[in-house]
Amino acid sequence: MVRDSLKVTEISDKMFVFKRDGRREEVHFDKITSRIQKLCYGLSKDFVDPPSITLKVISGLYSGVTTVELDNLAAETAATMTTKHPDYAVLAARIAVSNLHKETKKTFSDVMEDLYKMVDKVTGKLSPMISDYHYDIIKRNAERLNSSIIYDRDFNYNYFGFKTLERSYLLRIDGEVVERPQHMLMRVAVGIHGEDIDSAIETYNLLSERYFTHASPTLFGAATPKPQMSSCFLLTMKDDSIEGIYDTLKQCALISKSAGGIGLNIHCIRATGSYIAGTNGTSNGIVPMLRVYNNTARYVDQGGNKEHLKSVTDNEVCSLLNLGTCGLHVVHGSLRTGVESVDWDISSLLRHMYYLFTDSPARRALFTQLTGCTTFPLKFCGVRWLENAKCFQRALQIWDHVIKFLKEAKLPKTKPVETLKRAACDPFLKCKLAFCKTIADECQPFLQRFQTSKPMTPYLFEAVEKLLRYLMNRCVKPDLMKCTGPKLLSIDTKKSENLILSKNIDIGFATKRLLGETAITVTERQKLEFIHECRSMLTTMIAKLQEKSPLKQKAVRGLSSLDPCVIQHSPQLAQKRFSFLLEELNHANIINDVLAENAKKEYLHFCNLKKSELQEIFRPCDQFSDEVGLDTIYGSFLIGEANYKHLWEVIKICLVLSHGNATVEGGFSVNKSLLVENMHEKTVIAQRHIHDEIQEAGGIKNIHISKKMLDYVRGARKRYHEYLEMKKQEKSEKDKKKAEKRKLDIQVKDLEGERKKLMMATEEKREAIDVELQELKKKQASLY
Q: Which residues contact 644 (CB under 8 A, 6 or more apart)?
A: 602, 605, 606, 637, 638
Mean pLDDT is lowest, of 93-97, 385-389, 633-637, for 385-389
Q: What is the DSSP letter of 239?
A: -
Dump pLDDT digits (tens) for 359-375: 778 888 888 888 888 88
Q: Cβ(530)–Cβ(553) under 8 Å?
A: no
Output 24 or 474, whichever has higher pLDDT: 474
pLDDT of residue 308 exceeding 80, the answer is no
Looking at residue 482, its pLDDT comes to 80
Tell me the pLDDT tens digit for each residue of 576-603: 888 888 888 888 778 888 888 988 888 8
Q: Which residues contact 35 (CB under 8 A, 6 or more apart)?
A: 74
* Residue pair 153/207 in contact by the 8 Å Cβ criterion: no
H-assigned helices in 283-323: 286-300
Point out the least confidently predicted range of 329-333, 433-437, 458-462, 558-562. 329-333
Banded model confidence at residue 150, pLDDT cuts 50, 70, 90? very high
pLDDT level of residue 624 (50, 70, 90 thresholds)? very low
Q: 160-175: buried (b, 16+ CB within 10 Å) or exposed (e) per residue?
A: eebbebbebbbbebee
**Of residues 178, 193, 208, the one with CA closest to residue 112:** 178
Please tell me the predicted confidence (pLDDT) of residue 660: 58
1 neighbors 12 (Cβ within 8 angstroms): no
* Confidence (pTM): 0.49
Q: Which residue has the higher pLDDT, 620 or 707?
A: 707
The pLDDT of residue 136 is above 90: yes
Residue 661 has pLDDT above 60, yes or no: no
pLDDT at 60: 66
Specify the pLDDT at position 383: 63
Average pLDDT over residues 144-172: 89
pLDDT for the residue numbered 160 = 85
Predicted confidence (pLDDT) per residue in 53-96, tens digit: 877 777 766 655 677 777 888 888 888 888 888 888 888 889 88
Count CB neighbours of 485 within 10 A.
Answer: 18
The pLDDT of residue 187: 93
Q: Are 270 and 240 in contact (CB under 8 A)?
A: yes
pLDDT at 113: 92
- Average pLDDT over all residues of the chain: 80
The whole-angstrom distance between residue 299's C-alpha and the CA centroid of its chain comes to 33
pLDDT for the residue 542 = 87
Q: Which of 190, 199, 172, 202 is nearest to 103 (CA)?
A: 172
Window from 329-343, 405-419, 504-518, 660-674 with minimum mean pLDDT: 660-674
Query: d(Cα 740, Cα 752) in Å, to the nearest integer?
Result: 18
Q: How confident is the model at residue 12 (pLDDT cuts 50, 70, 90)?
A: very low
Q: Average pLDDT, stretch 209-234?
A: 84
**Contact between residue 443 and residue 386 where contact means Cβ atoms under 8 Å apart:** yes
Number of H helices, E strands in the chain: 34, 9
For residue range 251-280, list pLDDT tens digits in order. Answer: 888 887 777 778 888 878 887 777 777 777
